Structure 1
Amino acid sequence: MSKLRCHISISLDGFVAGPNQSEENPLGEGGDRLHDWVVPLAAFRRAHGGQGGEVNESTPVFEEAIANLGAGVMGRNMFGPIGGGAWGDGQWKGWWGENPAFHYPVFVLTHHSREPVEMEGGTTYHFVTDGIESALDQAKKAAGGKDVMLWGGGQVVQQYLAAGLLDELELHVVPVLLGGGSRLLDNLGGANVRLEQIRAVEAPGVTHLKYRVLPGASS
């Protein structure tokens, strides 16, 4: 059965992106440090068309995260550009270049309609204007029985958690303090979110905490 999974790097003070996001710093100031654990991995480099790299305790965690995926969902703030709004000339195609590493359909939550955008390597962006449930339904159909990855950002993860639609959450906790930016677990005080920890892995520069989201979460 297809699951909605989220694997996301987070600072010790709870941020998944730093402050003052810009085109020069799409992850905000200091936000790139959240991914220092994964970029050197050989498995990560292979997934992005590179070579070489390290093998350590994070390797099987990363390999599991990208396995059995058939579609993805992300928020407009993650897709960009900075400031959102209408699509203008339609030239913006995300932060990841002409050949994104997704290689499957990605459903982008937005208030502004747009025709699908086909990229190299099998990635097609679909723009969903009728809410998180519709985006998930479309993604699961496109995934053909495989899992769906919830890529973020923080506010979108909050929405899926609060609605009880997320099945699995893995936090890659990085020992940095960003002091501001996009917090992952805000605005959930009124939601009955119940998590069961199913794994903890210590690795160089990161601790991986995997949770199953239990039934009963609701907005």
Structure 2
Amino acid sequence: MATLLYSATASLDGFIAGPGGDMSWLTPHLGAPNPTADRLMAQTTAILAGAVTFGGDDPNRGTDREGAFGGQWSGPVVVLTHRPPAQAPDGVTFTDDLHHGVELVRAAAGDGTANVLGADVARQLLAARLLDEVLLFFAPVLLGDGTRVLDVPGGTQVLLDPVPGETEHWYRVRYPDAPAG
């Protein structure tokens, strides 16, 4: 069964997008060799994204690297939205139901990784206890405002166990009442 992995690049103060969803802050931090990101790209077999992320800003807009994973992504995408377009782009499925979206993306991902893009989708998956892993990259910048990695006012603590062999901030999600391991 596919692993649901929330991945994001954040500023050191914990924002994945600037005010208004601005992603231009990330542009100067892209392009450096990153073996973990390369491994992530190689094991990702489907994407689950929120509507804001899917239709939002792209730090590579207007370049040949525009799109998910710097324009390298080609594969199935499931988008969670309450306002699907009349015509879906090729390879993109829209749904307004979280559990149905998870079923669709797991089926599309097979035994690979379904990469979760978007803080709100990650929040919903955690609340439904469906998220398996979290991978965070950090860029050396302080944004001061924007979209947080995860924003759950009044939320409950979520435990994270380091994924063995990884040097980045890559963790398995452990829900409070689940045993460690």
Tell me the TM-score normalised to structure 2 length. Answer: 0.79
Shift of 1:216: 4.2
Root-mean-square deviation (CA, aligned residues, Å) is 2.6
- Give aligned pairs, total: 166
Q: 2:137 aligns with which of 172, 180, 187?
A: 172
* 1:151 and 2:117 aligned: yes
Q: Which residue of 1 aligns with 2:53?
A: 78
Question: CA separation of 1:13/1:200 partners in 2, compared to 1, >3 Å: closer, same or farther?
Answer: farther
Gaps in structure 2 of 5+ consecutive residues? 58-65
Given that 2:77 and 2:93 are in contact with CA atoms closer than 8 Å, whether structure 1 keeps it comes out as yes
Q: Which residue of 1 aligns with 2:73?
A: 102
C-alpha distance in structure 1 between counterparts of 2:139 and 2:25, whole Å: 8
Tell me the TM-score normalised to structure 1 length. Answer: 0.66
C-alpha distance in structure 2 between counterparts of 1:78 and 1:211, whole Å: 22
Amino acid at match of 2:52: N
* 1:160 and 2:125 aligned: yes
Deviation per residue, 1:2-60 (Å, 9 max, x gap): 10112210111110000134xxxxxx1xx33335444233xxxxxxxxxxxxxxxx2x2
Amino acid at match of 2:112: K
Q: 1:133 aligns with which of 99, 117, 126?
A: 99
Which gives a bigger RCO, structure 1 or 2 (Cα 8 Å, sep 6+)?
A: 2
Question: CA separation of 1:96/1:38 partners in 2, compared to 1, >3 Å: closer, same or farther?
Answer: closer
Secondary structure class of the residue paired with 2:116: strand
Question: CA separation of 1:200/1:67 partners in 2, compared to 1, >3 Å: closer, same or farther?
Answer: closer
What is the 5 A alignment of 1:1-219? Answer: 1-21=1-21, 28=22, 31-34=23-26, 36-41=28-33, 58=34, 60-80=35-55, 96=67, 101-114=72-85, 115-118=87-90, 124-130=91-97, 132-152=98-118, 154-187=119-152, 189-198=154-163, 201=167, 208-216=168-176
Secondary structure class of the residue paired with 1:177: coil
Given that 1:3 and 1:147 are in contact with CA atoms closer than 8 Å, whether structure 2 keeps it comes out as yes
Secondary structure class of the residue paired with 2:171: strand
C-alpha distance in structure 1 between counterparts of 2:175 and 2:78, whole Å: 25
Shift of 1:107: 0.5
**Larger radius of gyration between Structure 1 and Structure 2:** 1
